[in-house]
Structure 1
C-alpha cells in the first residue's frame, strides 16, 4: 500500500528550526564559588597547622586507634542514616531516568475486539448474524493497532528538566557524603568521650580509695585524741564527694556505649564486650593540615549540595519559561482489522494516520508568568541558602581552628600541672620514708596527683574532640 507524502507547513518547519533553543537562564555557578586567592589562609589557624590540603578520606586514622577504625567501618556500612541518604540518591537517579524517557516518543500497542448488537439498523450483516427476535443486528470488529506520540522540545523545557534532575542527583550524592561526615565525626566524638569517662572512672576510684584510707587514719587519730571531730567530718565529706562523682561518670560511660552501638547500626549493648576494656584517649597528630578557604568550598559536601540545589532551581526557570511558548507534537496511528478475524492479516485493511499538532496557551491570564515568577523565587532562595552555607562553613572552620589552637595550650598547661603534682607526691613520699611526713600527707599528695591526672585526661579528650570538630568543619571523611 502506498501512502501519500505529507508536506509540513512552513510554520511547522520554522518551529522545528527553533528546537535547538533553550529557554531560561544558563547556569554559570554562584559568585561565591569562584576560587579564593591561595594566599588567603584561615586567620586563626594554629602555628603548627599546615596549609597543605588534607586528604579527604579516613581522617580518623590519624588518631592511631584500631578500635576506632573498626567502629567507623562498621558504622559507614550499617548506619540507617547513611542508608536513608543512599536511598534518596536512587530516587533522584530514577527521576533523572524518567526525565530522559519523557523526551523520547511514546509508543503503544493495542488489540481490540468489539461485539455490538444494534437494534433497527441495517449493518449489512448476513441472516446468520441477525438475532432471532426482530430488527436488531450484530457486529463483530477486530483490530490491531500501534500509536506513537512525540512532543518536540522546541524551547528546551525537556532539556532544562533533565538538567535540573542531574543536579538533584548530584545534590543527593553530596547529601550522602554529608551524612558520612556527620556520622564519622559523631562516632569519633562518642568514642573519645567513652575513653575519657573510662579513664576518669579509674582515676576517681583510685582517688576515692586514698580518700577512704585517709578517713580511716583520721578516725584512728580521733580515737587516740590527736585529731578533732571536725577533721573526721571533713574527710568523710570529701569521701562522699568522691563517691558521688563516680555516679554520673558511670552513667555517661554507659550512654556512650549505647550511642556507639546505635551509630554502628547495632542494638544498645551489642558493643559492650568490644569496648569494655579501658584504653587511653586517642591523641590528634602533631601537625594538622587545614588547606585554604578555596579548598574548603570544594571539599565540604553541604556546600556542594547547596550549590547543586541552586543549579537545579536555575534550570527549573527554563522549564517554566518553555511552557509560555507554543508546543508542537506529532501523533501517528497504524491499525489493521475489520469485521472478520481474517482481516487482521489482510494488508488491504491497513490504515494509517499522521497528525502534527500545534498548541499555544497564549491567553492564560498570567498563569505561566506566575509559574516563572515562582521558579525565579525558588532560584533566589537556593542562591541565598548557598551563600549561607558558605558563610557557615567558613565560620565553623574559623571557630574550630581557634578552639583547637587554644585547647592545645590548655592541655600543655594541664600536663605541666600534673608533672608538678607528681613531683610534689614524690617529695612527700621521700619525706614519709624519712619519717618527716605522715601517711595522711602522702595519701593527700597522691590524691592531688590523681586529680591532676583527671584534669589532664579531660583536657586531652576535649582537645581531641576539638580536632574532630575541625575535621568535620573541613568537610573530611568522604570521597
Structure 2
C-alpha cells in the first residue's frame, strides 16, 4: 500500500516561512561619554592598545606562574566552565529537537485465541506474529516556536561563555591582589625585623654604658619600651602572611600550606611590592563596553529573553506533526525476508490548543516581563561598569599623588635620621634622639610600602574595571 502526501521538501519550506515574535535588534542605547571623565592625561593616556595580560607588566615571574596555575586549576573556575558545557549541551538539544525523530522496532508475539466456532471452525486457536519496522515523527515548525527556542538556547550558551570570562577576570584580579598583599606584608615585616635588630644593638650598647655609669636607667627603660613596641607591631604580620599564603593556595586549587615554602621570603628582593607601569592605557568607554564580559553576559541574556517571547507566542498557533511507519512481517519468521511485501503508513496530525483559559497569554506576559527585567539589568550593568571604571581611575590617580608625597616624607625622615646619627657622633645628640629619628624613619618606610601596595591594588582594580584579564580581552 502506497500513500501520497505533500513532499517533505515542501513541508520543510512551509515550516520556515513564518517565525512569530520580534527579532532581537540589539541592546538598548545607554548614556556614555566619548572619554573617561576621571582619566589623567599625564598618567593614564587614553590612546594606544591596552595590555590584556596586564599582570605581566609587573615583570614578576612568580606572579605570572601563579596566575596561570589559578586559570588551570581553580575550582570555582571549573564550576563556571561546567555550567558553560551544560548550556552548550542545551543548545545542541534544542537544535536536535527541530529535526525528525526516528526509531526501529522488532516484534515477536504468540497469541492463544479462545475457540468460538466449535470443531468445524476455520479460525486458528493460536497465532504467531513477527514484524520489523522503522518509524519516524517530525513536528513541522510552522510558526517558528522551535527556532525561537534554539535562538534562546544559543544566547544562553553565549551568556554562559561570557560569565566564564568574567570569572577569569575576577580570578586573575584576586590572585594578583593576594600576591601584592603577601609581598607588602613581607616588606613591612622585613622593615620591622631590621628595626628590631638596630634597637636591640642600641639597647645592648646602652646596657654596657649603664654598667660603666655613662647611661641612665631612664635611657634603658625608653630603649626597652621602644624595642617591645616594635616587636608587638611585627608579631601580627606573621599571621597575615599565613593567611595570604593560604588564600593563594586556595586560588590555585591547592590545600592551605602547600605554597608556604614557595612563597617564603628568601631574599630582600622577594619582599618587593610589584609596582604598576609609569603609564597605563585605559581606552575609552566604548572599548570598555566591548571588553567587559559581565556586560556581554547581560546583553546575551537580553537576547535570550527576547527569543523566549516568540517561543511563548508560537503556542497560540496550530502544530503540524508528521508520523510515518514502514515495516515487514507476518505469521512466520520467513515472512521477514519478503522485502517486496511491506506495510507503510503515513499520517499528518494537526493539533491546536485553542481552549487554554489564558495560560498561553500568561506565559507570553511572563516572558515579556522577563525581557523587560533583562533590559533593565543590562542598563544597570553598563552604568555600574562605567562607574567602576571612573572610580578606579580616580583612586589610581589620587594614589599616585599620595605615593609621591609619602616618598618625599620618607626622604626627609632618612635625612633626619642621618643627621641625628652624625650629631650623636659629634656629641651634640644622645641615643634617645637617634632612637626617635630611627622610629620616624621606620614609620615613613612602612607608610611608603603600604602606599605602594595600595597603588598596585588600585592598578589591579582599574584593570578589572576595564574588563581586562581574560583570554578574549582584546
Relative to the length of structure 1, the TM-score reads: 0.90
Match of 1:210 among 178, 198, 201: 198
Match of 1:452 among 444, 448, 451: 444
Corresponding position: 1:108 with 2:103: yes
Partner of 1:134: none
Match of 1:438 among 424, 430, 433: 430
- Is the Cα–Cα contact under 8 Å of residues 184 and 449 in structure 2 kept in the other structure? yes
How many angstroms apart in 1 are the aligned matches of 2:305 and 2:6? 40
Corresponding position: 1:253 with 2:241: yes
How many angstroms apart in 2 are the aligned matches of 1:410 and 1:124? 114
Q: Which blocks of at least 5 consecutive residues in structure 1 are unaligned?
A: 131-136
Q: Secondary structure at the match of 1:453?
A: helix
Match of 2:35 among 36, 41, 55: 41
Match of 1:94 among 89, 92, 110: 89
How many angstroms apart in 1 are the aligned matches of 2:205 and 2:121? 125
Say if 1:294 and 1:121 are closer, same or farther in 2 by CA, change over 3 A: farther
How many angstroms apart in 1 are the aligned matches of 2:365 and 2:15? 24
Match of 2:303 among 301, 307, 311: 311
Corresponding position: 1:472 with 2:464: yes
- Is the Cα–Cα contact under 8 Å of residues 143 and 344 in structure 1 kept in the other structure? yes
Partner of 2:421: 429
How many angstroms apart in 2 are the aligned matches of 1:63 and 1:7? 69
Partner of 1:61: 56
User: 1:368-426 CA deviation, whole Å, 9 max, x = no partner?
Assistant: 11111111111111111111111111111111111111111110011001111111112
Q: Secondary structure at the match of 1:273?
A: coil
Deviation at 1:17, TM superposition (A): 4.0
- Is the Cα–Cα contact under 8 Å of residues 12 and 140 in structure 2 kept in the other structure? no
Partner of 2:232: 244
- Is the Cα–Cα contact under 8 Å of residues 61 and 69 in structure 1 kept in the other structure? yes
Partner of 2:139: 151
User: 1:187-243 CA deviation, whole Å, 9 max, x = no partner?
Assistant: 0000000000001001011222333445556666777486464x6544444333211
Corresponding position: 1:71 with 2:59: no
Equivalent residue pairs, number:
463
User: 1:146-189 CA deviation, whole Å, 9 max, x = no partner?
Assistant: 11110111111111111111111111111111111001000000
Say if 1:443 and 1:76 are closer, same or farther in 2 by CA, change over 3 A: same
- Is the Cα–Cα contact under 8 Å of residues 28 and 375 in structure 2 kept in the other structure? no
Say if 1:444 and 1:213 are closer, same or farther in 2 by CA, change over 3 A: farther
Deviation at 1:448, TM superposition (A): 2.1
Q: Secondary structure at the match of 1:107?
A: strand
Partner of 1:3: 2
How many angstroms apart in 2 are the aligned matches of 1:123 and 1:439? 132
Corresponding position: 1:31 with 2:28: yes
Say if 1:174 and 1:15 are closer, same or farther in 2 by CA, change over 3 A: closer
How many angstroms apart in 2 are the aligned matches of 1:350 and 1:123? 34
Corresponding position: 1:271 with 2:244: no
Corresponding position: 1:390 with 2:387: no
How many angstroms apart in 2 are the aligned matches of 1:330 and 1:366? 28
How many angstroms apart in 1 are the aligned matches of 2:229 and 2:446? 15
Say if 1:126 and 1:426 are closer, same or farther in 2 by CA, change over 3 A: farther
Q: CA RMSD in A?
A: 2.6
Corresponding position: 1:188 with 2:176: yes
How many angstroms apart in 2 are the aligned matches of 1:44 and 1:125? 106
- Is the Cα–Cα contact under 8 Å of residues 56 and 299 in structure 1 kept in the other structure? no
Say if 1:125 and 1:364 are closer, same or farther in 2 by CA, change over 3 A: farther
- Is the Cα–Cα contact under 8 Å of residues 306 and 385 in structure 1 kept in the other structure? yes
How many angstroms apart in 2 are the aligned matches of 1:426 and 1:307? 61
- Is the Cα–Cα contact under 8 Å of residues 11 and 140 in structure 2 kept in the other structure? no
Partner of 1:21: 18
Q: Which blocks of at least 5 consecutive residues in structure 2 are unaligned?
A: none
Say if 1:351 and 1:298 are closer, same or farther in 2 by CA, change over 3 A: same
Deviation at 1:264, TM superposition (A): 1.0
Q: Secondary structure at the match of 2:438?
A: helix
Relative to the length of structure 2, the TM-score reads: 0.91
How many angstroms apart in 2 are the aligned matches of 1:123 and 1:417? 121
User: 1:33-54 CA deviation, whole Å, 9 max, x = no partner?
Assistant: 69x56xx211111232111254
How many angstroms apart in 2 are the aligned matches of 1:14 and 1:146? 21
How many angstroms apart in 1 are the aligned matches of 2:190 and 2:341? 94
